[in-house]
Amino acid sequence: MDDLLSEFLTETSESLEVIDSELVRFEAEPNDQGILNNVFRLVHTIKGTCGFLGLPRLEAVAHAGETLLGKFRDGTIEVTPPLVTLVLESIDQIKALLAHLENHETEPEGDDAELISRLEKAADGELGAPPEPVAEVPAPAPEPAAAEAKPAASDKKPRPANLADDVRWDEDLGRELRPGEVSLAELEAAFASVEVEDFSNPPDATEETAEAAAPEAATDDAEEPEAVTPAAVAAAIEKAVANEPEMASNTPRASQSIRVNVDVLEHLMNMVSELVLTRNQLLQMVRQMDDSEFKTPLQRLSNVTGELQDAVMKTRMQPIGNAWKKIPRIVRDAAQDLNKKIKLVMEGDQTELDRQVLELIRDPLTHMIRNSCDHGLELPSDRMAVGKPEEGTIILRAYHEGGHIHIELRDDGAGLKTARIRQKALDNGVITPEEATTMTEAQIHRLIFAPGFSTAEKVTNLSGRGVGMDVVRTNIELIGGAIDLVSREGEGTTFTIKIPLTLAIVSALIVGSQGQRFAVPQLSVVELVRTGSNSENKIESINGTQVLRLRDRLLPVLPLANALKLDDTNAENKNRFVIVMQVASQRFGLVVDEVFDTEEIVVKPINSVLRDITEYSGSTILGDGSVIMILDPNGISKLAAFDKSTTGTKPVIQETRKIVSRGDQKTSLLVFSAGSAEPKACPLSLVTRLEEIEVDRFEMTNKGPVVQYRGQLMPVIPMSGGLTANEEGRQPVLVVNNGDSVVGIGVDKVLDITEDVLKVAIGDTTPGVLGTAVIGGKATEVIDIGHFLGQADYDWAKAMSEGPKEPKSLLLFESHDFFRNMLAPLLEASGYRVTTVSSVEEALAANIEPSDFDVVLADIDNDAEARAFVDKLSTDAEWADVPRVAMSNREESLVTPDFAGCVRKSDRHGLLAVLDQTASLKGQAA
């Protein structure tokens, strides 16, 4: 693009931002000449430059807008909201034209006759409020005046080359030529004389122009026969010029600044980062040497590098006000659209932060402001009704605290309606009815950050399209920030955003797991806890889910090794560290083996081939020159499914298992597919772990595929069909713990873990299938895991069945259909003759004889029925010498005097061992 044009675009878009916010201010304070002059000057500059660059369409619009502004300034037309809207409209049109210009380097086709004619009409006083009496001089009057003024100007400075141009404008733009024409000549003169400086210092150039214009205008006017109004105009202009120094003190203006391309700064930043890293390396090397002569110069180098780093960082810092410039306009438009009265208070707009961060928070902030206007604040009438001032207030505040920028957005509106959010979340399936009753008010409020959540009853122009706060949250989290809110119904809502000052350098904790080092951003680390057998902080587990007792509270924890699928050989080591992390409103612990140090690290973007791994946010080079990965707390919390709002995260590791409640016959079920698309299920308690194993780790033996798994060989039995046909990728495997050994069962895909009443509705004689049950509303085949275990060559059943030489007979009392159906074939496969009964009645009806049985196995978990049965047996002399074995999953019931042995239901290995032992007891007794 033409250099001149690109300079013009940059400069003009900056001016337009200022104009936007200044105009809104002006609307509120129509008597403030300083603001108006500023706006007028900026529009004027744009117009003038357009003429210079040959952009007639832009110029025409700018001119028409300027005309109206001129009327405001003269006081001939009273400032009213509709008129300001009209001016804003012309500014918008300029923006649209500029956007086109930026993309195509030419002005778009067509014209803006309609807009211009409206602006002209407004300038003629045909729109909005009637002109003030002072301005009684009829609007057309300036027309002849202008026409006369022009030749006068030409007379003064005869410039034939420009004359043609002047004439054309006259035709195009009509009456209100005076200010434009005069200063165009001046502007060109200014451009010609200060060719180089004028872009770096545009306001000054304009000032010159304005100053120069003033006397000239005055001279022109003096020649006019009808001098009343023009004199007033001249006076106004002079006043404006006089006001300018005041203005300068109001608006921060960099007098000693140059424009630098952002790329140059980026490059500089990168170089300094490298320098810092190299210095760190040197420091580390020298630290290991005693008494090195390098020490002093290195110290100096270190200081200089530090200062250089600070200085370069500063070049990237910009006041947050730059991201706020558009906000007054947004609030104003929203207030108009919604018929609300809104006061916007902005504090701390000079708070500085990295420009990269600035760019990234601009959109989320805008969205939130719109939300506050639309959903937060009530209509004036509603506000009056509850005794609040008619005008709602939105406060936007920014401040530094602890190396972060805090942005606070507060409104004094209606607050969040807890009940409605809860209902909506229920309707959308974001939460379950159970959760709805147990969640605190604050937790419910935070649901507005959940994906696809919008409570707006009607979709308005501003918001309510269903993408909302979740996008805001995602954007903020992307830059390592956090968002939270506090709301009181009737009193308003406060959002707080915490974002890092810069993305380039972060403070990180270096931790180690399985001999590898990783960096954890300090921002999300709350505390470090050392755990150990002697420590009061112990990691305990509930059904495989690990939790940490921390100050009388339970904190879910996840070993880093599991999160990264490293082989966790240190699982038994109790002396580890837990990093307590806070991600959004979730707190969890990350278990690591070692904690080394904190280090300031320069975040390097991650290579595109690794970008999909959400567990990392980047990589860096440490002081010792080694490369390490930076963990992304958000990604890890999602992986561990600690984050409820993320649906669709596949629970792959055992920590994600739901805690099973056994009270009502509900069973935790693992739903998966194998062979066909239809879902299959088995009780989760039978599966020790879910793994995804890379296909190339499978090795073939003559007994079928095996995998080296945690230091032992694990046979893998494919369920229906075979292992995944493709040679790459991962094979989901259900790992079944089999006492000393493990067996893997290959399935196609793990679908879900669900909790449901397991009731086998249709029996099935297919080997390996117990029957079909309705799980989660779908017909699902219930798989007999035991059958597949039987296929493994290291099968526990066969191994154990070598024990009893003759088949022993066993009476199985189990009232639960599922377990009965599952246990019986297993026991038979292990060499028992099994008789099953499900109730005392059935037992009596079956007319069982004590002498027929070597052992009685009873499930005492499920009901009183089983107890009654067992009691009956123990009081019956005939049964007295038949040993009894109890099965239970409850810890406390495992100590039962009535039984010869007691085992956990899921512990097949133990069960068979106990049975084998007790069954032979009878023989000895007899």
Does residue 278 interact with other proteins by CB under 8 A?
yes
DSSP state string for 127-172: SSSPPPGGGGS-TTTHHHHHHHHHHHHHHHS--HHHHHHHHHHHHH
Contact predicate 578/548, CB 8 Å: yes
Say what angle helices 33-53 and 228-250 make with each other, to 10 degrees: 100
Binding mask 584-613 for other proteins (x = CB under 8 A): --------------------x--xxxx-xx
Q: Which among 174-182, 526-534, 551-559, 627-635 is the span making contact with other proteins, rule CB under 8 A? A: 627-635
Does residue 616 interact with other proteins by CB under 8 A?
yes
For other proteins, the closer of residues 155 and 727 by Cβ is 727
Contact predicate 354/315, CB 8 Å: no
Beta bridge partners of 512: 517, 594
In angstroms, what is the minimal distance from the CB of 717 to other proteins?
24
Which is it for the CA torsion 596, 602, 607, 610, positive or negative? positive
3-state secondary structure of 784: coil
Q: Which of 628, 843, 870, 902 binds other proteins (CB under 8 A)?
A: 628
For other proteins, the closer of residues 372 and 731 by Cβ is 731
3-state secondary structure of 662: coil
Contacts of 409 (CB under 8 A, 6+ apart): 365, 368, 369, 372, 394, 395, 396, 397, 494, 495, 496, 497
Q: Which of 19, 24, 62, 277 binds other proteins (CB under 8 A)?
A: 277
Maximum distance among all Cα pairs of the chain, rounded to whole angstroms: 139
Contact predicate 660/755, CB 8 Å: yes
Q: Which of 103, 626, 765, 875 binds other proteins (CB under 8 A)?
A: 626
For other proteins, the closer of residues 9 and 308 by Cβ is 308
For other proteins, the closer of residues 625 and 923 by Cβ is 625
Binding mask 788-827 for other proteins (x = CB under 8 A): ----------------------------------------
Nearest to 914 by CA among 741, 689, 792, 739: 739
3-state secondary structure of 574: coil
Binding mask 729-758 for other proteins (x = CB under 8 A): xx----------------------------
Binding mask 547-566 for other proteins (x = CB under 8 A): -----------------xxx
Q: Which of 593, 615, 784, 861 binds other proteins (CB under 8 A)?
A: 615
Contact predicate 119/91, CB 8 Å: no
Q: How far apart are CA 458 and CA 59, in angstroms?
A: 41
In angstroms, what is the minimal distance from the CB of 356 to other proteins?
16
Q: Which among 206-214, 323-331, 614-622, 895-903 is the span making contact with other proteins, rule CB under 8 A? A: 614-622
Q: Which of residues 515-544 bind other proteins (CB under 8 A)?
A: 516
Give the C-alpha distances (Å, rounded to integers) separating 350 from 84, 324, 500, 599, 774. 27, 11, 16, 29, 62
For other proteins, the closer of residues 748 and 784 by Cβ is 748
Q: Which of residues 118-177 bind other proteins (CB under 8 A)?
A: none
In angstroms, what is the minimal distance from the CB of 510 to other proteins?
13
For other proteins, the closer of residues 277 and 416 by Cβ is 277
Q: Which of residues 858-877 bind other proteins (CB under 8 A)?
A: none
Q: Which among 109-117, 272-280, 309-317, 891-899 is the span making contact with other proteins, rule CB under 8 A? A: 272-280
In angstroms, what is the minimal distance from the CB of 725 to other proteins?
15
Q: Which among 64-72, 105-113, 273-281, 443-451 is the span making contact with other proteins, rule CB under 8 A? A: 273-281
Q: Which of 79, 414, 580, 621 binds other proteins (CB under 8 A)?
A: 621
DSSP state string for 36-96: HHHHHHHHHHHHHHHHHHT-HHHHHHHHHHHHHHHHHHHTSS---HHHHHHHHHHHHHHHH
In angstroms, what is the minimal distance from the CB of 363 to other proteins?
23
Q: What is the dihedral of CA 753, 754, 759, 762, to 10 degrees?
A: -60
For other proteins, the closer of residues 240 and 629 by Cβ is 629
For other proteins, the closer of residues 101 and 674 by Cβ is 674
DSSP E strands: which ranges in 372-463?
392-401, 404-411
For other proteins, the closer of residues 587 and 730 by Cβ is 730
For other proteins, the closer of residues 462 and 579 by Cβ is 579
Does residue 246 interact with other proteins by CB under 8 A?
no
Q: What is the dihedral of CA 641, 643, 648, 654, to 10 degrees?
A: 10
Contact predicate 585/447, CB 8 Å: no
3-state secondary structure of 698: strand
Which amino acid is located at 770 in the chain? L
Binding mask 664-703 for other proteins (x = CB under 8 A): ------------------------------x-x-------
Does residue 99 interact with other proteins by CB under 8 A?
no
Which residues of the chain form contacts with other proteins (CB under 8 A)? 274, 277-278, 516, 564-566, 604, 607-610, 612-616, 619-621, 625-629, 648-650, 694, 696, 727-730
